[in-house]
């Protein structure tokens, strides 16, 4: 599920909630080769992860083929469509002539019919008007004018009786009661053709709103070289679904200068008229900023679960009490994480097993004086009852003042011991995250190695 598809789904949901309508999902699976179970499953999974819940059971387009064929036959009866008996060779020749003359394909069968009882294979084509213009009154793009002479007599039913995309979506939108079609602007050309099908069937044309594409940071069409494109990739990179909803809503739509807002606020504010007509640019810095905001707000137990999942996927070492260690650590380090992957990295110091070996480079920080200070600090901390970050920060400050020389006299060495070769928060937070037993044990182990 592409990020552009995800944003389109979100805009549909927001508008439905804003207008008191229904958010509907249709799986357009008339192309049986491309519509694999895996592809359909990715759509459901992408919507589920993003938290976009539809209001009714999904419609599978392929199951409605009989209804689509009935609509095409109705158009035949009304004269809005016709049977075309061109052979493959004749179609190829007409395509070459049309290309050379800069016009759409015109079938000779538009103005004549086969003899009664003919068993020749045929397709059903739309009888598009040859004069005038078709105007798509788009809520995002404004009025888009198509000259009818440039619109082809598109195929509605193939020779095997299967419906084409444009016919199927028109019939399904009508039967599903769709009032607003909000989709990517790569479908803008289809809108003119679909309007002619609506008119041929005598149905009300829905409101169209065609959203601009999402481009990369350099302004070029989003591609693999820009990084993640699929929703699943963003999930795997450590972005939270609520952050993605907030960011995607802001990607091409806005409400003043508001950058952070709730789902309820987005639905209340959302208007199609405020969607920007020009392509939006994916901005990783802004996405990270929004994600960091939602990580700060997220439940710590949920974050611990996500961090554990990320660590397991990497094959990281996990001690038997990893969950308890994560529960202590997450609240103390989450402020600095832009993604849940970064969050997982920030917990690694707390997951290391003892004894933690000190390398030659690290040993250089432990002079005799530093070792003596750490020994005295261990005694002070062991006698200290309150093991919260705030209380530990006060105790460290008092110790530094009593010893003289400030934190620089022991802090760097203590950090080496507590961090275990990973990134760690400030000393008080690291001590609190490790817990009394583990923290003091690491200090004792280190001093034992250095004797």
Residues 194, 154 contacting (CB under 8 angstroms): no
Number of neighbours of residue 119 by Cβ within 10 angstroms: 6
* Cα separation, 83 vs 163, whole angstroms: 14
* Cα separation, 119 vs 117, whole angstroms: 6
Specify burial of residue 195 (Cβ count, 10 A radius: 0-12, 13-18, 19+).
buried
3-state secondary structure of 163: strand
Dihedral of the alpha carbons of 256, 261, 262, 267, in degrees to the nearest 10: 20
DSSP codes of every residue in 58-102: PEEGGGGHHHHHHHHHHHHHHTSEEEE---HHHHHHHHHHHHHHT
3-state secondary structure of 118: coil
| Antiparallel, parallel or unpaired: β 59-60 and 180-184 | unpaired
Residues 316, 348 contacting (CB under 8 angstroms): yes
C-alpha separations of 108 from 89, 159, 163, 273 in Å: 14, 17, 22, 43
Token pair in block for residue 436: 């009394």
Phi then psi dihedrals of residue 59, to 5 deg: -100, 130
Token pair in block for residue 177: 């009661």
Q: One of 139, 221, 224, 397 is an active-site residue; which one? A: 224
Instruction: Tell me whether residue 141 is one of the annotated catalytic residues.
Output: no
C-alpha separations of 117 from 113, 241, 296, 405 in Å: 11, 59, 73, 105
> Considering only CA atoms, which of 381, 332, 326 is closest in space to residue 350?
326
Residues recognised as catalytic: 224
């Amino acid at each position: 599920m592409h990020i552009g598809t995800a944003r389109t789904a979100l805009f549909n949901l927001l508008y439905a909630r804003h207008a008191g309508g229904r958010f509907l999902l249709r799986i357009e699976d008339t192309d049986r080769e491309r519509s694999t179970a895996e592809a359909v499953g990715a759509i459901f999974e992408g919507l589920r992860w993003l938290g976009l819940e539809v209001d009714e059971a999904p419609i599978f387009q392929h199951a409605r083929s009989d209804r689509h064929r009935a609509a095409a036959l109705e158009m035949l009866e009304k004269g809005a469509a016709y049977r075309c008996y061109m052979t493959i060779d004749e179609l190829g020749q007409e395509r070459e002539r049309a290309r050379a003359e800069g016009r759409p394909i015109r079938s000779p069968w538009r103005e004549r019919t086969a003899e009664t009882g003919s068993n020749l294979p045929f397709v059903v084509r739309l009888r598009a008007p040859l004069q005038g213009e078709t105007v798509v009154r788009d809520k995002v793009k404004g009025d888009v004018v198509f000259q009818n002479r440039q619109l082809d007599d598109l195929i509605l039913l193939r020779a095997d009786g299967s419906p084409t995309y444009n016919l199927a979506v028109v019939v399904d939108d009508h039967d599903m009661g769709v009032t607003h079609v909000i989709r990517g602007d790569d479908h803008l050309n289809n809108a003119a053709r679909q309007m002619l099908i609506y008119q041929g069937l005598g149905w009300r044309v829905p409101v169209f709103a065609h959203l601009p594409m999402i481009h990369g940071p350099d302004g070029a069409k989003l591609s693999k070289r820009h990084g993640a494109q699929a929703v699943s990739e963003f999930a795997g990179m450590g972005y939270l679904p609520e952050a993605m909803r907030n960011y995607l809503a802001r990607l091409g739509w806005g409400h003043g200068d508001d950058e952070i807002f709730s789902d309820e606020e987005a639905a209340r504010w959302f208007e199609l008229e405020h969607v920007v007509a020009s392509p939006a640019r994916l901005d990783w810095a802004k996405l990270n900023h929004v994600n960091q905001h939602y990580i700060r707000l997220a439940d710590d137990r949920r974050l611990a679960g996500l961090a554990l999942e990320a660590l397991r996927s990497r094959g990281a070492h996990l001690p038997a009490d990893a969950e308890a260690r994560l529960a202590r650590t997450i609240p103390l380090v989450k402020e600095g994480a832009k993604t849940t992957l970064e969050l997982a990295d920030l917990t690694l110091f707390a997951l290391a097993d003892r004894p933690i070996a000190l390398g030659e480079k690290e040993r250089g920080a432990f002079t005799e004086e530093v070792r003596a200070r750490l020994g005295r600090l261990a005694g002070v901390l062991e006698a200290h009852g309150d093991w919260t970050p705030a209380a530990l920060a006060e105790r460290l400050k008092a110790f530094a003042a009593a010893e003289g020389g400030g934190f620089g006299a022991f802090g760097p060495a203590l950090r080496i011991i507590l961090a275990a070769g990973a990134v760690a928060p400030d000393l008080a937070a690291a001590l609190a995250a490790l817990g009394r037993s583990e923290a003091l044990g690491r200090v004792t182990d280190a001093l034992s190695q250095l004797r």
